[in-house]
Structure 1
Amino acid sequence: MQESSSALVKPQSHGLLARCLRFHIVGAFIISLSAAAFYKFAVAEPRKKAYADFYRNYDSMKDFEKMKKTGIFQSTK
C-alpha cells in the first residue's frame, strides 16, 4: 500500500483571518466611498441647486399676500 497522505496539501490556516479581514476592509472602504460620492452628486448637489433656484426669485411678501387672500391666515385682514 502506498501512502496517499503525502499527496494531500495542508490547508493554510496561519494568517487566514488577517488576509480575509484585509480584503473585506478594503472592499468595505471602497463601497462606502462610492456610496457617499453617489449620494453627494445624485442627491445633495441637485437638492442644493433646487433650493438656490427657488430662493433666488422668492418674494415672501408676495407669497404672504397670496395666502392672505385665500384665507389661510385668520388673524390678518
Structure 2
Amino acid sequence: MSLAKPVMRGMLAKRLRIHLPLAFLSSFGLAMAIKFMITEPRKQAYADFYKNYDSAKEFEAMREAGIFESVQPSGK
C-alpha cells in the first residue's frame, strides 16, 4: 500500500484564503485592544494630572527642598 501524493497545485492560494483574513482580523483586534486598554487610560491619566498641576508651586517646593544647586531658597 503506497501513500497518496500530496496536492500541491493551488495549495498556497487555498491556505491564504483562510489565513490572510484571520491575520488581518487578529492584528486589528490586537491594535484596538492596545488602544483602548493601554493608550486611552494613559492619556486620561496624564490629562487628569495636568488638569490641576501648578508648575510654579512645584518649582517652589523643589527650591525649598534644596534640589536645585543654582537656585537659592528664599529667606522666609
**Pairwise TM-score range, normalised by the shorter structure:** 0.7 to 0.9
Give the whole-Å Cα distance in 1 for the aligned partners of 2:68 and 2:8.
Answer: 74
Question: TM-score normalized by structure 1?
Answer: 0.81
* 1:43 is the counterpart of 2:38: yes
The unaligned stretches of length 5 or more in structure 1 are 1-8
Aligned residues: 72
RMSD over aligned CA atoms reads 2.1
Give the whole-Å Cα distance in 1 for the aligned partners of 2:6 and 2:55.
Answer: 73
The unaligned stretches of length 5 or more in structure 2 are none
Moved over 6 A (4+): none
* 1:64 is the counterpart of 2:55: no
Question: TM-score normalized by structure 2?
Answer: 0.82
> Which residues of 2 match residues 1-77 of structure 1 at below 5 A?
12-77=7-72
